[in-house]
Structure 1
Amino acid sequence: MGSLAGHKRQRYSTALGSAREVLACVQVAEAMRYVEPPHPGVLDRMNHVIATLARLVYRRAS
């Protein structure tokens, strides 16, 4: 949020991509049995962060 107006959306977009990448890595690690399934609350929080970032990136320009 510290970026100037012209760059904010790009920074949120980068953060969204990173958050989605982290979730995908957790899912792959779980599928390959490298880690135990994450607590449902953790996955819920991750999805909440992704949804919030998506709203910031894809909202209509005013």
Structure 2
Amino acid sequence: ALSSAPLNVAEGSYSQGRNCVARYHTALGSLREAQACFETATAFGYMPPLSAELRASFNHVLGTLVRLVGRR
């Protein structure tokens, strides 16, 4: 999921019309899946919580993708 997000963003940036939005939707889903993986790993004690800086960057990318796909 984590590697899929940037790959789909890259593909979306060179696509047009529906293909572009579809790629951004896929990237958004992959990023949300990665976020859920981090939260699950933290809950089970496999890793520490993400730093505030990393969480802020993650949320910034999520917000950008939400705006690109036109969700409100």
Name 1:44's counterpart in structure 2.
56
The count of corresponding residues between Structure 1 and Structure 2 is 59
Q: Does 1:13 align with 2:7?
A: no
Larger RCO (CA within 8 A; separation ≥ 6): 1
Q: Which runs of 5+ in 2 are unaligned?
A: 1-12
**Alignment TM-score, normalising by the size of structure 1:** 0.87
Name 2:42's counterpart in structure 1.
30
Question: How big is the shift at 1:5?
Answer: 2.7
Larger-Rg structure: 1
Q: In the aligned structure 2, how far is the partner of 1:6 from the partner of 1:32?
A: 39
Q: Which runs of 5+ in 1 are unaligned?
A: none
Name 1:57's counterpart in structure 2.
69
Q: Secondary structure at the match of 1:30?
A: helix
Question: How big is the shift at 1:4?
Answer: 2.6
State, as a whole percentage, how many aligned pairs show the same letter: 42
